[in-house]
Amino acid sequence: MKFYSLIAWLSLTVVASAWTEYFSFEEIAGPVGVDPQVGAMETLSDGRLAVAFHRGEVMIYDPVAKTWAAFASGLQEPLGMLADKDGSLLVMQRAELTRLRDTDGDGSADSYETVFDDFGMSGNYHEFAYGPARDANGNLYIVLGVASNGAPMAKEIRGEFSKIGKVDFAGMSTRETWGKNRGAAGRMYARVKWRGWVLKLSPDGKKMEPFASGFRSPNGIGFDASGRLLITDNQGDWRPTSPLYDVKKGGFYGHPPSLVWTPGWDGGDPMAIPVPELDALQQPAVGFFPQGELANSPTWPVVIPKGSFPEGWTAQTLIGEMNQKNLVRVLEDNVDGVFQTALVPVFDGSPLGMGSNRLAFTKDGSLYVGKTALSWAGGKGFTRIKWNGKAFPALEKIKAQANGFALRFSQPIDAATLSTLVVKRHTYDYHVAYGAPKKDETILDVQGTTLSEDGLTLTITIGALKEKYLHLIDMTGLRSKEGGKLLGAKAWYQVIKAPK
């Protein structure tokens, strides 16, 4: 046992030293007297960083002077923030989207304007609100989490209560009645308006359009470099493992309770719809985060700017993760017009630690990681990560092929290490239960490998790819021609559409 523990420790040490050879990891001291749990971050036009904290403060960090200044306070659980052209900040509170303005130029907000609050609130502790994200036309998008049967609703609610379901308002709004009825409502529920929905707002917030449904606890929303609206959700009921979605107008994304708020809905209780019918309604995830391996609670997506990572990473998407000691990188692919992804760990085994809730790049190329824990495993405070400009071996692109995958690397691969490749695949059951184990997990026969003359492109032959299956390509044993280990040595590719 001691021998194997030593091997595991040495392996982690090698990975950590590899990351630290190319990146610095600096812990940033938070503002004095503020609980350093981060709910939102945004880079300002002058290079400073605006940070919203869980307890309701908004502070401005100057990365040059390394000082904090108070900007606003009294907000309710802010979980998203955008800077606007006029210098104001749009902050997503639990109860509303708010615009903060400094009208007198003294460095702190003196105007708190409600931009949008036309959605229901039951008073349940789990009704989080996330966003906003902004599209190319200036429209804003927010996404609302659903309630949990771990606690009752309040005696007074905001907005309409849906009568569709097995429990009425009286049975859900006191602790005594809720204790008797909690099982009948479902683990997570959407009995007030627009819970579990993405809402599209006009740039001024005055017009709202219900955009997409079927979300549970979507703690990440943002547009990628190609203008796709990406949303992460968390494992739970109707979620076999945490998914990544490319969200389209009118789509249903798998979590049924929100369907009751579909305009013109006459389908009765969504929880009574047979599972195969619900499965046929839902849009597929473009990626999955295997629970306990890659991510337990994926968070905010951000686009990697030029110069902050090697050139091959520019414009790719990076996603935070609460409960694993890594971030996640999205490698995109397109098969016959179908967008699908491979998800790759970043900074695994590095000094990053856990709790990575919000990400923001500053003008000097630094990546700031804001952490939180609340009642879950996680962390607190800030880590500044800075690439030193040195090239390193990593997977840059992936392409599904009729009989396997083509992989493109940043440095030539040593052909002598190709025999170490391991490829697996598995799928998940879609069901009401909380999470799901891997189903039909299979180690695939690597029938052949072909390395290009320059050593940068590797073609793996495994036979036809299987749709609705997550394919793991384990490159842990690969080495560059110079002997370097790959940084981010596993890729999980979700096949929605298999190439012909």
Closest CA to 97 of 109, 114, 80, 110: 114
Residue 256 Cα distances to 91, 99, 191, angstroms: 28, 32, 12
Q: What is the pLDDT of residue 7?
A: 40
Structural domains of the chain, ranges and CATH numbers in brackets: 395-495 (2.60.40.1220)
pLDDT digits (tens, 9 = 90+) for 267-300: 999 999 999 999 999 999 999 999 999 999 999 9
The single-letter code of the amino acid at 472 is: L
**85: number of Cβ within 10 Å:** 7
Q: What is the pLDDT of residue 378?
A: 85
Look up tokens 């052909």; give the residue.
415
pLDDT digits (tens, 9 = 90+) for 321-363: 999 999 999 999 999 999 999 999 999 999 999 999 999 999 9
User: Does the pLDDT at position 12 exceed 70?
Assistant: no
List the single range of 52-66, 114-128, 171-185, 456-470 with lowest mean pLDDT: 171-185
Contacts 24+ apart (CB under 8 A), 482-487: 482/393, 482/411, 483/414, 484/18, 484/392, 484/393, 484/411, 485/14, 485/15, 485/18, 485/393, 486/393, 486/394, 486/395, 486/409, 487/18, 487/19, 487/22, 487/346, 487/392, 487/393, 487/394
- What is the chain's percent helix, strand, coil content, to nearest 5? 10, 40, 50
Mean pLDDT value of segment 261-265: 97
User: Does the pLDDT at position 16 exceed 80?
Assistant: no
Its pTM stands at: 0.95
